[in-house]
Amino acid sequence: MERSTPHAVALSGLRKSYGERTAVAGIDLLIAPGEVVALLGPNGAGKSTTVDMMLGLTPPDSGGITLFGADPRRALADGVVGAMLQDVTLLEDATVREILTMIASMHRAPMPVAGALRLAGIGELAERRAARLSGGQTQRVRLAMALVPDPGLLVLDEPTAVMDVTARRAFWHAMGAFAASGRTVLFTTHYLEEAEAHAGRVVLMRDGTIVADGPVGAVMARVGGRTVTALVPGVRPPELLALPGVVGAEPAGDGHRVVLRCSDSDGALRALLARHPGARDVEIRSASLEEAFVLLTGANLAGEEVAAR
C-alpha cells in the first residue's frame, strides 16, 4: 500500500540477467522527493540496465519499481517522470519549438514551452530545425523535451557524455534550477567531479550491486576523509597501518612516498612524526571522490581491476 507521500523512486529486490550474465543482482533503493542522486560505477556495473528498468524500457526478471508510487510506464506516460532518451530521433524538418510544442500537447499539465527553452538554456535555438543541431545542442533539446511535461523526477543516463565544457556548464546550471524547485534528479555519469559538484547523494554500483550509498561527504568519510602523503625512509606502507587514525596505506604514484588514508589526519600525522622522525615531504589533503570510488568498487571507471592494498 502506498503512503500519502510516496518515494520518488522505490526499487526493491530488482534483478535482471542477460543469459548467463547478471546485470543487476537484486538492488534496493529509495529516493525521497527533492533528492539529487548520482549513480556511479565502472563500465558494466549495471547502471544503464537499472535506469532502463526504471523507465520501463527493459522488464526486470524480478523485483519491484515504483516512481511516485506508480508503475514506470504509467509515470512516464503521465509526465511524472522525464527522461533524455538517446534512441529517440528528432523530427529533422521540425523546429525545436515545434517539437517541444508537440510534446507539451501530449501532456496534461506541461510547463510553457518558453519555460522549458529557458531552463534548458536554448532560447536561441527555438526556431532552429532539428537537422541543423550539433551533438551538444541536440542533448540540450533532449533535456528540454524531458522538462516540458514538468516532471517531478528526471532520470538521466550519462546526460553530459557528448557535451563540451561550455555545454556541460550550461546543462548543470539548468539542472540546478530544476532541482532548486524541489524536483528529484537521478543521473549516471562517468565524471566523478560532476557527482561531487551536483549530487547530494551518491550511489556506487559494482557487479550489479550497490556497494556504497550516502551523501558525498559520508561516502568519502567511509574510506578516510583525508590523506597524508609522506616520504618515510626505510618503512614499507603496511607497517604504517598500525598508526592511530590511519585506515589505509599505499605507495604513492611516484613510487617513493606513501599515501595514508586517515579517519583522523591530525592524530595520524602526530603519530607518524613521533614514531618515524625521518618522515619528510609531508602533504595533507582531502580525499577525492575518485579515490573513494576506486577504494569502494576496487575498479577504476573503465572497469579495470585496481590492485587492492
Ligand X SMILES: Nc1ncnc2c1ncn2[C@@H]1O[C@H](COP(=O)(O)OP(=O)(O)OP(=O)(O)O)[C@@H](O)[C@H]1O
Rule CB under 6 A: which residues touch ligand X?
18, 21, 23, 41, 43-49
Of 155 and 243, the one with the shorter C-beta distance to ligand X is 155
Q: Please answer whether residues 6 and 80 qualify as being in contact, where contact means their C-beta atoms are separated by less than 8 angstroms.
A: no
Q: How far is the CB of 127 from ligand X (least distance, A)?
A: 35
Q: How far is the CB of 293 from ligand X (least distance, A)?
A: 13
Phi, psi (degrees; rounded to nearest 5) at 191: -100, 105
CA distance 206 to 25: 10
Q: How far is the CB of 188 from ligand X (least distance, A)?
A: 7
CA distance 217 to 202: 9
Q: How far is the CB of 59 from ligand X (least distance, A)?
A: 12
Integer angstrom CA distances of residue 147 from 24, 159, 198, 276: 28, 13, 18, 58
Q: How far is the CB of 129 from ligand X (least distance, A)?
A: 31
Of 14 and 76, the one with the shorter C-beta distance to ligand X is 14
Taking only Cα atoms into account, the Rg of the chain, rounded to an integer number of angstroms, comes to 23
Which residue type occupies 60? P
Of 44 and 200, the one with the shorter C-beta distance to ligand X is 44
Of 17 and 288, the one with the shorter C-beta distance to ligand X is 17
DSSP strand pairing (81-83 vs 153-157): parallel
Of 104 and 185, the one with the shorter C-beta distance to ligand X is 185
CA distance 175 to 65: 24
